[in-house]
Structure 1
């Protein structure tokens, strides 16, 4: 009986190890080796690789770098693309596209806020739940829009915020399906919103 118990323990340990969640940022060399630069028309700003129950997945964040100067790089479009390697090719799981919008004052750049992005298993189900954060700035170098996109079961759940000094032009909206997310994920995003308010001096609220 003891031998069977030990064997079951070893088998469970091996299974648990094989299901280990891993996630890390890719170097430029690793991006080239995996040929990830071929999946987007824009330069890759940051790339991640993660392993969960579904297999090995790559997430690339790309920005078109429309205007590049010594002072800054300005983007008019961004893309986030999530793919799995499929027998030498890529199987796309999901994609995010966005671009500058016609606001007053004028938006001049849009970019990924990678310090707030994450590739973690937020609810402990063995699958990574990517969180993508990006924003836009105006011609006065003020943050205008902020988007927080959570991907759960390959579906996107979005928070859209517009910053403005005046109440009538400020907004903070969650998708209608937001409350269908697991509580652990919602708690993580709520804490992220608090962090953004504190660290970036944002309002992130309705007028």
Structure 2
């Protein structure tokens, strides 16, 4: 009887824990109701609420939409901000900022690649490790830069890549602290790099 009771307690605690690892996209109405538009100067492209053992978070992706035409929206700056609701205000946990860089050929837009961004508990510790992916394109519509940022315990670990047909202008680097990440996290990101190479026809390598 005692074994059955302990088993039921384990199952119940497991189910309750599983319910705490979740995320969903916020509607425009929810963004306005929560006043998330007040934490950034740029239009919010997408907002996600996620919950883990640490609490409930709101993650907003913003792009400044500098030039808007019928075909494209071109951004010169982007920003991702993660906050917790704190007694009616917001407690910022981390943020990502980037902008166009001076390359030849010229970069004309930078954007979040949200189809490759994830909010998952990759190492099973009860906390979500956000993976943020964004890139830039040249005036010829080709991908120029790609960044993959892993946020682990509110610290950012970055992979930086510059795409180029010539060996001397191509690069692919990981932060020096990259190897301190849990193996499951590193394996997931390495697989994501392979996926990007395959689906977007990118090199993502040195020289």
Q: TM-score range by the shorter chain?
A: over 0.9
Partner of residue 197, structure 1: 197
User: Pick from 3, 6, 14: which aligns with 1:16?
Assistant: 14
Partner of residue 49, structure 1: 49
The whole-number CA distance in structure 1 between the counterparts of 2:17 and 2:49 is 15
- Where 1:188 maps in the other structure, the secondary structure is helix
Q: Cα deviations across residues 54-84 of structure 1 (Å, max 9, x unaligned)?
A: 0101111100000001010000000000000
- Where 1:199 maps in the other structure, the secondary structure is helix
Partner of residue 178, structure 2: 178
- Between the two proteins, the alignment pairs up a number of residues equal to 205
Partner of residue 76, structure 1: 76
Matched, 1:140 2:134: no
State the TM-score, normalized to the length of structure 2.
0.95
Q: Measure how far apart 1:10 and its partner are.
A: 4.4
Partner of residue 66, structure 2: 66
The whole-number CA distance in structure 2 between the counterparts of 1:11 and 1:89 is 37
Q: Measure how far apart 1:12 and its partner are.
A: 3.7
Structure 1 segment 152-167 matched on structure 2, within 5 A:
152-167=152-167
- Where 2:13 maps in the other structure, the secondary structure is helix
Partner of residue 122, structure 1: 122
Q: Measure how far apart 1:154 and its partner are.
A: 0.6
The whole-number CA distance in structure 2 between the counterparts of 1:50 and 1:7 is 32
Superposed CA RMSD: 1.2
The whole-number CA distance in structure 1 between the counterparts of 2:27 and 2:4 is 41
Unaligned runs of 5+ in 1: none
Unaligned runs of 5+ in 2: none
State the TM-score, normalized to the length of structure 1.
0.95
